[in-house]
Amino acid sequence: MSQSALIKRILIVGGGTAGWMTAAAMGKLLAPLKIDVTLLESDQIGTVGVGEATLPHIRFFNRRLGIDEADFMAQTAATFKLGIEFRDWARKGDAYIHPFGDYGRDIKGVPFHHYWLRLRQRGRAWRIGEFSAPVMISEFGRFAMPVEDERSVMSSFSYAYQFDAGLYAKYLRRFAEACGVRRIEGKITTVIQRGEDGFIEAVKTEDGRRVEADLFVDCSGFRGLLIEQTLKAGFEDWSAVLPCDRAVAVPCENAAPSLPYTRATARGAGWQWRIPLQHRVGNGYVYCSEHVSDDEAAQTLMASLEGRPRAEPNFLRFRAGKRRRQWVKNCVSIGLSSGFLEPLESTSIYLIQASVTKLLELFPDRDFRACDIDEFNRAMDLEYERIRDFLILHYHATERDDTPFWDYVRTMKIPDSLAYKMTLFRKRGVVVKYKDGLFLHPSWIAVYLGQRVMPDMYDPRAEFIAEDELEKTLSAMRNLIRKTAESLPDHSDFIRRYCPAPGTV
Amino acid sequence: MPNQSHGETRNIVIIGDGFDAWLSAAYLTRKLRAGYDIVVCAPPREEMQDHCAVFAGPATSSLHAELAVDERDLLRYCRGTFSLGAHFLDWTKPGKDYVVAFGAYGAPIETIAFHQCWRKRQRIVKGGDRFDSYSLSATAARAGKFAHPSRDPADIRSTYRYGYHVDVELYTDYMRRYAMHYGAKKAGARYANALLKERREGIDAVRLADGEIIPAFLALDCASAAAPLIEGALGATWTSFPSPGAVDSVITFAASSVASPSMTRIVAAKTCWRMDIPFQDGARCMIGYDSRAVSLDALAREHGPLENLEAKRIVRGRRAPAIGNVAALGESACRLDPLFCPAPATLIAGLKTLVELLPASQSGAETDEYNRIMSDVFERCNDFVTLQYWLAEQLGQHAWAAGAEKALSPHLRRKIEQFRSRGQIVQFDEEIYDQEMWIASLLGAGVNPERYDPFADGLSETMLDARLAALREKIAETVRAMPDQMIYLRQARATAPERSGS
Ligand SMILES: Cc1cc2nc3c(=O)[nH]c(=O)nc-3n(C[C@H](O)[C@H](O)[C@H](O)COP(=O)(O)OP(=O)(O)OC[C@H]3O[C@@H](n4cnc5c(N)ncnc54)[C@H](O)[C@@H]3O)c2cc1C
């Protein structure tokens, strides 16, 4: 940097998933710059510890850090994840999988789903999921690694992991410490700001220690100890469009071999997750406290467990929204301290990764220039807003009117940035494209169609193929995908061979 | 179901007779096969072509590939050449030059962007090599060479793309023949007026001068500045872009050939900028100047005899890209400063967006989305051209560029600020020019970021030196083995017969 005012010390406040992911990335990637990275956490306070389902991006994170996949999966009792199954969302009895992969193939430059729509209008009742390799592989409970050869249907998807959050934190901690990150145990009681500009100078712990740094990363969870309590970044509240504000979580025993996908089942006042791991299943009910009490929610959850509970139900409270500024002065918030979007599409860990990556890209020096901070905040705002809209779609595009909760989300006013996207899809089957932002074309198609947002028409260019030729092409695609999926090994067998967790075999 | 029934054809009526109209007709005829008739109607009055030559980038070559246009045939017909980029001379400092090329500048070193590594090394060796010596296309362009890129990603010759230099009239003529060969029709008479839909939400049909009425599913206003449909019939209003400097007029004329046929030459002179677009036999020159500060006579003294020249005023601004089922494409929608010739790329972006959003649902949803995308396209393209003026103003202190700073859009301001600060390019949703072209412009001009990526400090200096030297050598060697463009064209039988009498 001008290259003198380089940051020398970083303090990461918090040792949850956000803290340790940040520590691992910084420990590894900042090593050549000889920056001192310290993490401070309080055993007294503890972590949220529920984030267990991820998105495929985490593989790039791991690769960048040089993490060995099989070892990582074994140590976190992880399973593979090919998508999320949504049950009972548009109507009770509905089910669809939002896969990490493409539907069919474009034909003559026109996206596949238009051809599918055309045949559907002619009465062909094929499900769109039958043209997705990861959907079919999920339905059969199989798994194999995708390949690179673009001619193969096995190149059409990606995958993520479902892991034990507690084991993941431990794994990252070992990794980060091996990279030279120092860990301090202690509870912060005071934050000391510099008189002249309000920058954070140091934090003080209960037992009287003072820890200084140039850059503070606030990973303190919902409380936002530095970013909010000290620096007053402000919170943009999105609960009007994402009204769920509580969750109750409980792990239970595995009743069946683990499946390569997460499940999200709509309930009367929210939805319930099911995340299969090697040694147990994670469950939780995310709900809106205005419409259901904690006791009722816990009852609903406990009554639907497939195996014996392995812990007491754990209650959590939150509010959808984000910090108005995620980076203020010399403090960057990462993880729950930066905002919260419910785990419907497993986006939180992705957001942690995006923040860390962006921070390294815009890595500041000790002058903390406004332009670095602005650009970080602009980029993260865009990430948050685009995910928010995608989540709202799941709730809003529904026909359910069986509870006041569903009546509310079905009829609420949604952001214009989502409304025009839905209109274009509904009228014309076109998915709006954007450059930065998490969910791409196939994700929008999966959720639109899964939520019964059925286009009035398909792209007129999809007419350029004769109908019988189109039937043949699609039918061949469908058969190939089904045959390929069926031929793969069982997901749980694959795991047993590839990455068995200690004690599971 | 609202999708059309089989057998019914729909007319796409294109008003215009120039570059915009015929390239649109060519593209749409091929992309919308069965079910659409493309009818081209000449505008009410003959239009003046605005540019006399086109310097087109990779968007055009990929469009040609999509249309399976035979490039050799095209270049033979247009006496054109392949383009690898633009050569800026004296733009920021007398004697300083750089190439903004189509293609990669170096390759990341251990995941660190190449230009960041280069900046680090610059700090150490205090100047030295040119940034464009790490670009194969820039180096080949300087040497007047050309060969088609390789398809093998492992081959360094896969790291560039190309465009063309063509004469507009010949190119238009070529596209007219192409379009008509594939079924576009020319209307029997000129466009007279339009039959509007209720509340002017588009049109039902156009009426020709001879009274014939052609129903229109979709109508394109490709009639340049006159905009008889989008403005004349539908009343789209004009919004000006702020002028990026004092240049208000252009003249164009034939010039003798420039040093390299593989790049457009853009020179900053005291009283004007001058852009020479090379053909197989000579070049087309355009001069942009401030008519209040310099007379044509004075320009003639400096640039050779400029007889019978008519100066044209530069107009910069835009209209609504589409209203209902009427879209404006090319100059009728957006007029950008002619520097760097941004027109073909915006036209092509419009065409590609349009075929994805044919207004088939009659709901207006496609039009809204088209307008959203194209407005961004226009703004981002205008940013790129404005940047070139800004560089001329800030670094070259050219009087004709004075005021560019005031014309920066907030997006461009952010781009420049981020680049100055740490050499990163912020890209927004609808960018036409890729990161490399922004970086090549800024670094080439000598805007040196205050900082480079701190991770570049993790790379050892000897390793960096060795890697950079090896890359330079590899590029030089590859370029040595490439043919001169004129020889390449001759071997490909893409050269035009000698002009009679010349
Ligand atoms: C119900 C629910 C389900 C979720 N499911 C998913 C999912 O499936 N996928 C996904 O990606 N994400 C999910 N998430 C989000 C995910 O759990 C979080 O993003 C992730 O755990 C990161 O949390 P964190 O590290 O920011 O905060 P926390 O885990 O809360 O950690 C905070 C840390 O700060 C420390 N701390 C706080 N105050 C002090 C103090 N005063 N002094 C010292 N230390 C202090 C604590 O000791 C702790 O170490 C879910 C979240 C919830 C609420």
In this prediction the ipTM stands at 0.94
CA distance A61 to A172: 12
Q: B472 or B52: which carries more pLDDT confidence?
A: B472
Other Cβ atoms closer than 10 A to A21: 27
pLDDT value of position A198: 97
Catalytic annotation present for A81: yes
pLDDT value of position B1: 44
CA distance A393 to B142: 53
Degrees, nearest 5: CA angle B215-B218-B220:
110
Q: Would B232 be classed as within a structural domain?
A: yes
Which of B111, B365, B426 lies at the smallest CB-CB distance from A428? Answer: B365
End-to-end, the C-alpha distance of chain B in Å comes to 62
Residues B224 and B332 placed together within one structural domain of the fold: yes
Is pLDDT of B251 > 60? yes
pLDDT value of position A437: 79
SS3 (DSSP) at B461: helix
Residues B203 and B293 placed together within one structural domain of the fold: no
Which of A423, A459, A464 lies at the smallest CB-CB distance from B33? Answer: A464
Residues B177 and B212 placed together within one structural domain of the fold: yes
| Banded pLDDT at B122 (limits 50, 70, 90) | confident
Which of B65-74, B295-304, B408-417, B471-480 bottoms out in mean pLDDT, i.e. has the lowest? B295-304
Q: Would B463 be classed as within a structural domain?
A: no
A46 is in an annotated binding site: no
Q: At residue B241, what is the residue type?
A: F
**Whether the Cβ atoms of residue A70 and residue A80 lie closer than 8 Å to each other:** no
Q: Would B393 be classed as within a structural domain?
A: no
Between positions 23 and 62 of A, the ones with CB within 8 A of B are: 29, 31-33
**Continuous H helices in B360-495:** 365-394, 410-422, 435-445, 461-481, 485-491
CA distance B365 to A438: 24
Q: At residue B491, what is the residue type?
A: Q
Report the domain count for chain B. 2
> Is the Cβ atom of A284 under 6 angstroms away from ligand 1?
yes
Q: At residue B350, what is the residue type?
A: G
Other Cβ atoms closer than 10 A to B365: 21
Instruction: Name chain B contacts of A435, Cβ cutoff 8 Å.
Output: 427-429, 431
Q: Is A461 on the interface with B (CB under 8 A)?
A: yes
SS3 (DSSP) at B315: coil
Which of A1, A423, A463 lies at the smallest CB-CB distance from B34? Answer: A463
What H or E segment, with its residue span, contains residue B405? Answer: none
Q: Which atom of ligand 1 is nearest to the CA of A347?
A: 11
> Is the Cβ atom of A224 under 6 angstroms away from ligand 1?
no
pLDDT value of position A118: 97
pTM as predicted: 0.96
> Is the Cβ atom of A61 under 6 angstroms away from ligand 1?
no
pLDDT value of position B502: 38
CA distance A179 to A184: 15
CA atoms within 13 A on the CB side of A411: 7
Residues B224 and B253 placed together within one structural domain of the fold: no
Other Cβ atoms closer than 10 A to B256: 10
pLDDT value of position A467: 95
Task: Give the bridge partners for A200, in sequence order.
Answer: A193
* Contact state of A371 with B421 under an 8 Å Cβ cutoff: yes
Dist. CA A220 → ligand 1 center (Å): 8
Other Cβ atoms closer than 10 A to A195: 8
For residue B360, what is the nearest residue in chain A, using CA coordinates?
A: A460
Q: Which atom of ligand 1 is nearest to the CA of A346?
A: 9
Q: How far is A194 from chain B (nearest CA, A)?
A: 25
Q: Would B108 be classed as within a structural domain?
A: no
pLDDT tens profile B212-226? 999 999 999 999 989
pLDDT value of position B127: 65
CA atoms within 13 A on the CB side of B12: 29
Domain around B269: 249-313
Nearest CA to ligand 1 atom 18: A51
Which of A76-80, A359-363, A455-459, B305-309 bottoms out in mean pLDDT, i.e. has the lowest? B305-309
Task: Give the bridge partners for B240, in sequence order.
Answer: B317
pLDDT value of position B228: 96
For residue B417, what is the nearest residue in chain A, using CA coordinates?
A: A371
Residues B329 and B220 placed together within one structural domain of the fold: yes
CA distance A12 to A217: 5
| Banded pLDDT at B49 (limits 50, 70, 90) | low
A104 is in an annotated binding site: no
**Whether the Cβ atoms of residue A135 and residue A83 lie closer than 8 Å to each other:** yes
Could you say which of A8, A28, A34, A81 is catalytic?
Answer: A81
Dist. CA A503 → ligand 1 center (Å): 27
Q: Which atom of ligand 1 is nearest to the CA of A189?
A: 41
CA distance B202 to B192: 16
For residue A379, what is the nearest residue in chain B, using CA coordinates?
A: B426
Dist. CA A462 → ligand 1 center (Å): 47
pLDDT tens profile A55-73? 999 999 999 999 999 999 9
Q: Residue range A361-387: average pLDDT?
A: 95
Dist. CA A349 → ligand 1 center (Å): 10
Percent of chain B with pLDDT over 70: 97
**Whether the Cβ atoms of residue B71 and residue B62 lie closer than 8 Å to each other:** no
pLDDT tens profile A238-276? 999 999 999 999 999 998 889 999 999 999 999 999 999
pLDDT tens profile A303-360? 999 999 999 999 999 999 999 999 999 999 999 999 999 999 999 999 999 999 999 9
Q: Is B434 on the interface with A (CB under 8 A)?
A: no
Instruction: Name chain A contacts of B369, Cβ cutoff 8 Å.
Output: 420, 424, 430, 432
Is pLDDT of B257 > 80? no
Q: Would B273 be classed as within a structural domain?
A: yes
Is pLDDT of A2 > 50? no
SS3 (DSSP) at B366: helix
Residues B334 and B373 placed together within one structural domain of the fold: yes
Residues B229 and B343 placed together within one structural domain of the fold: yes
Which of A6, A31, A464 lies at the smallest CB-CB distance from B454? Answer: A6
Dist. CA A304 → ligand 1 center (Å): 26
CA distance B120 to A109: 42
Substitution site in A44, A50, A355 for ligand 1 pocket (most atoms within 8 Å of beta carbon):
A50
pLDDT value of position A234: 98
Rg (C-alpha) for chain A, rounded Å, is 23
Dist. CA B319 → ligand 1 center (Å): 50
Q: Is A3 on the interface with B (CB under 8 A)?
A: yes
Q: Would B418 be classed as within a structural domain?
A: no
Task: Give the bridge partners for B312, in sequence order.
Answer: B250
Q: Which of A427, A444, A459 to mutate to test the interface with B (most CBs of B within 10 A)?
A: A427
Domain end (from B345, B377, B409): B377
A336 is in an annotated binding site: yes
For B104-142, give the DSSP string. -SS--BTTB-HHHHHHHHHHHHTS-S-GGGG-HHHHHHH
CA distance A110 to B484: 39
SS3 (DSSP) at A408: helix
Tokens 């000579």, residue located: B282
Between positions 116 and 135 of B, the ones with CB within 8 A of A are: 123
Domain end (from B298, B313, B328): B313
Q: Which stretches of B90-245 are assigned E, i.e. beta strand? A: 97-101, 163-167, 185-186, 191-196, 203-208, 213-215, 218-221, 239-240
pLDDT tens profile A400-415? 999 999 999 999 999 9
pLDDT value of position A6: 86
Is pLDDT of B403 > 80? yes
What chain A holds in terms of domains, given with CATH numbers, is 3-52+164-239+320-368 (3.50.50.60), 83-158+389-491 (no CATH), 246-317 (no CATH)
**Whether the Cβ atoms of residue B218 and residue B358 lie closer than 8 Å to each other:** yes
Dist. CA A504 → ligand 1 center (Å): 27
Torsion of CA A451, A452, A453, A457, to 10 degrees: 150
Residues B304 and B180 placed together within one structural domain of the fold: no
Nearest CA to ligand 1 atom 50: A51
Which of A424, A434, A459 lies at the smallest CB-CB distance from B429? Answer: A434
> By C-alpha distance, which of B134, B84, B85 is closest to B114?
B134
Q: Residue range A281-298: average pLDDT?
A: 98
Q: What is the 3-state secondary structure (H, E, C) of B347-358?
A: HHHHHHHHHHCC
| Banded pLDDT at A1 (limits 50, 70, 90) | very low
**Whether the Cβ atoms of residue B418 and residue A371 lie closer than 8 Å to each other:** yes
Is pLDDT of A162 > 70? yes
Q: Residue range B88-107: average pLDDT?
A: 97
Which of A360, A430, A460 lies at the smallest CB-CB distance from B3? Answer: A460
* Contact state of B3 with A457 under an 8 Å Cβ cutoff: yes
Other Cβ atoms closer than 10 A to B94: 10
* Sequence-distant (≥ 6) Cβ neighbours of residue B326 within 8 angstroms: B202, B203, B218, B219, B220, B221, B229, B230, B233, B234
Residues B218 and B234 placed together within one structural domain of the fold: yes
Is pLDDT of B38 > 90? yes
> By C-alpha distance, which of B462, B203, B422 is closest to B322?
B203
> Is the Cβ atom of A282 under 6 angstroms away from ligand 1?
no
Q: Would B27 be classed as within a structural domain?
A: yes
pLDDT value of position B51: 52
Mean pLDDT of chain A: 96
Residues B286 and B199 placed together within one structural domain of the fold: no
Instruction: Name chain B contacts of A29, Cβ cutoff 8 Å.
Output: 455
> Is the Cβ atom of A264 under 6 angstroms away from ligand 1?
no
Q: Is B269 on the interface with A (CB under 8 A)?
A: no
Instruction: Name chain A contacts of B451, Cβ cutoff 8 Å.
Output: 1-3, 365
pLDDT tens profile B125-170? 776 789 999 999 999 999 999 999 999 999 999 999 999 999 999 9
For residue A361, what is the nearest residue in chain B, using CA coordinates?
A: B453
CA distance B423 to B442: 9
CATH number reported for the structural domain that contains residue B32 in this entry: 3.50.50.60
Residues B197 and B329 placed together within one structural domain of the fold: yes
Is pLDDT of A435 > 60? yes
Mean pLDDT of chain B: 93
Residues B193 and B309 placed together within one structural domain of the fold: no
Q: Is B304 on the interface with A (CB under 8 A)?
A: no
pLDDT value of position B499: 63
Domain end (from B377, B396, B426): B377
Q: Is B421 on the interface with A (CB under 8 A)?
A: yes
What H or E segment, with its residue span, contains residue B13? Answer: strand B10-15
What H or E segment, with its residue span, contains residue A192? Answer: strand A188-193
Instruction: Name chain A contacts of B366, Cβ cutoff 8 Å.
Output: 424, 427-428, 430
Substitution site in A17, A185, A319 for ligand 1 pocket (most atoms within 8 Å of beta carbon):
A17
